Amino acid sequence: MDTQTLCKTLDLERLEVNLFRGFTPEEESRERIYGGQVIAQSLLAAYETVEDRVCHSLHCYFIRPGDPNIPIVFEVDRSRDGGSFTTRRVIAVQHGQQIFNLAASFQVEEEGFEHQSEMPAAPPPEAVEDDIAVQRRLLADAPAHMRAWLDRPQPIEMRTVGGRIDGPNPEKREPHQQVWFRAKDPIGPDPHMHQVILAYASDMSLLGTSIRPHGVNWQTPGMQTASLDHAMWFHRPTDFNEWHLYHQESPSSSGGRGFNLGYIYRASDGALVASCAQEGLMRMRKPRKS
């Protein structure tokens, strides 16, 4: 799925004033819906009920795994329309049950005080190997269906500084990482869509930060991971067709959960355009007794 196909996929069908329907692309072939897709579609559903305001923050919970074989129904609650801020709540439903909910706040454009943290040092994206190339090398002996998964078109280009920890025997690393990423194909002139695609991509790699110190990965037998919640703050508008540095760190993991923070900087001028926080499940399942 390329970026333009992703934009079309995220587009929603309006069923009623506050009711929308979304779909999952057939070529994704996932057992469950990718979390970033539901974040992006929920944000788009909220935007369908908001005029002349831009999302500055969203907070969401992943409640049940999404079924990629059936549509998702998005119900928007118009919580408040204020003078400066608008609040929306979105519930995503499948099989008659909530699979996800999102609360988002939108603000009129406003001038104010400004400061930001400095963009951390990182090798330029041109000096970092593409993640897909790294995965193909590390998974050269993997089953054919896994290698085929890597060959499908990708909407987001990602380059992990220092390389990924895929493969059967991952080494232990510090609980932080840096990832360069951008949309592979032109998104178009709509600034809201750049924000939506950035939200889509923000769920990529973040959970993996808390796994790095433990010498495991998604291939490790018995390893179970899933996003539990996700929060995002949009500080400045940006063009996501440009390179951005996703600086990630994991201050803590405990109780079968990993906590992660992410900061997204624009490469061209070092502007901090967004910040993220996420907690995810990271559980080693015990083998079943025969």
Q: Please tell me whether residues 171 and 202 are part of one structural domain.
A: yes
Dist CA 187 CA 49 (whole Å) = 22
Q: Name the domain boundary from 109, 137, 172.
A: 109
Q: Which of 14, 13, 59, 10 is nearest to 38 (CA)?
A: 10
In this prediction, residue 133 carries a pLDDT of 86
Domain boundary among 80, 109, 138: 109
Give CA–CA dist 277/181, Å, rounded.
18
- The pTM of this model reads 0.92
CATH of the domain at 143: 3.10.129.10
From CA 176, how far away is CA 206, in angstroms rounded? 10
Residues 46 and 144 in one domain: no
Whether residue 96 sits in one domain with residue 56: yes
* 122 domain-assigned: no
Verify that 247 and 148 share a domain, yes or no: yes
> Domain check: are 74 and 146 in the same one?
no
In 3-state terms, what secondary structure has residue 83?
Answer: coil
52 among known catalytic residues = no
Residue 116 inside a domain? The answer is no
| CA–centroid distance for 244 within its chain | 14
Q: What's the pLDDT at 199?
A: 97
Kindly state whether residues 202 and 284 are assigned to the same domain.
yes
pLDDT of residue 289: 60
11 is catalytic: no
- Closest residue by Cα to residue 44 from 28, 34, 58, 33: 58
Q: Using CA atoms, how far apart are residues 169 and 215, in angstroms rounded to an integer?
A: 8
CB within 8 Å of 41: residues ≥ 6 apart = 10, 12, 22, 72, 74, 92
pLDDT of residue 258: 97
152 in the same domain as 277: yes
CA dist 138 and 267 (Å) reads: 28
CA nearest to 24, candidates 43, 1, 50: 1
Asked if residue 124 is part of any domain, the answer here is no
Number of domains forming the structure of the chain? 2
Question: Do both 68 and 177 map to the same domain?
Answer: no
Residue 53: per-residue pLDDT? 96
In this structure, the answer to whether residues 219 and 144 fall within a common structural domain is yes
Say which of 105, 131, 178, 203 is annotated catalytic.
203
Q: Which of 227, 250, 253, 275 is catalytic?
A: 227
Spot the catalytic one: 94, 253, 275, 278.
278
pLDDT in the model for residue 146:
65
- Catalytic status, residue 227: yes
Q: What are phi and psi of 120, to 5 degrees?
A: -65, 155
Q: Which domain holds residue 217?
A: 129-290
Residues of the chain with pLDDT under 50: none
151 and 290 co-located in one domain: yes
Does a structural domain hold residue 277?
Answer: yes
Give the per-residue pLDDT at 3.
Answer: 77
